[in-house]
Amino acid sequence: MRLRRLALALCLLSGLLVAGTLGPSPAGKTFGSGDALAYTVPLVVGQSVSTAGAGEIVGGNFVDPTLYVRANLTAAWVFRATVSVDEVAATGYVQLYNLTDAAQVCLLSTSSADPVELSQALTLGAGNFSAAKKHYEIRIYITGGVTPTVTLQSASVDVRITY
């Protein structure tokens, strides 16, 4: 039990949130076929803007897929953002932007007044989501409405590794 707590604490301190099986599973095995770990690379938490146009930079981080990819493992990458707007006539946008290569990776949008989690699967090495370490930014903006505001509760790049 102490080893599990220590491993979790080290992962949290390094900026990675680990959700999965640490140590032996109920069947007594350690990371066998079908077991999985989920890592979150946080990009931004709690930002609001009333900016139309190309987007306001509200956060970012380096993402290095080489830290998670190994032979005989499957890694599934997802961009997630929790977003809301304060006017129903408005649409809020969240952009994952590859700053290193100056290219948009993906764009999510909503017109929901209630916070909604949006997500898009990312293919490693395809489009502008690089298989190498790159710096990514989160940009948010809004269109429509009279004086709308888009609120981004959180945004991250998640990877689920299956053994």
Task: Kindly list the domain boundaries of the chain, sorted by start residue.
Answer: 33-162
Q: What is the mean pLDDT of residues 132-139?
A: 92
The answer to whether the CB of 97 falls within 8 A of the CB of 103 is: yes
Spatial neighbors of 71 by CB under 8 A, at least 6 apart, are none
b/e map 90-105, b = 16+ CB within 10 Å: bbbbbbbbbeeeeeeb
- pLDDT > 90 fraction of the chain, expressed in percent and rounded: 21
Cα–Cα dist 32/43, whole Å: 31
Architecture of domain 33-162: Sandwich (2.60)
E strands, 99-133, are: 103-110, 116-122
> Measured between alpha carbons, how far is 115 from 108 in angstroms, rounded to an integer?
13
Q: pLDDT tens digits, residue range 9-35?
A: 333 333 333 333 333 333 443 455 566
Say yes or no to pLDDT of 106 above 50: yes
Q: Whose CA is closest to 47, among 14, 11, 95?
A: 95
Euclidean distance between CA atoms 42 and 61, whole angstroms: 7
CA–CA distance, 121 with 136 (Å, rounded to integer): 16
Give mean pLDDT, residues 119-148. 87
Grouping H, G, I as helix, E, B as strand and the rest as coil, residue 4 is helix
Q: What distance in Å separates the CA atoms of residue 133 and residue 129, rounded to the nearest whole number?
A: 10
What whole-number distance in Å separates Cα of residue 57 and Cα of residue 137? 7
Please state the pTM of the whole predicted model.
0.72
Q: Coil, strand, or helix at residue 67?
A: helix
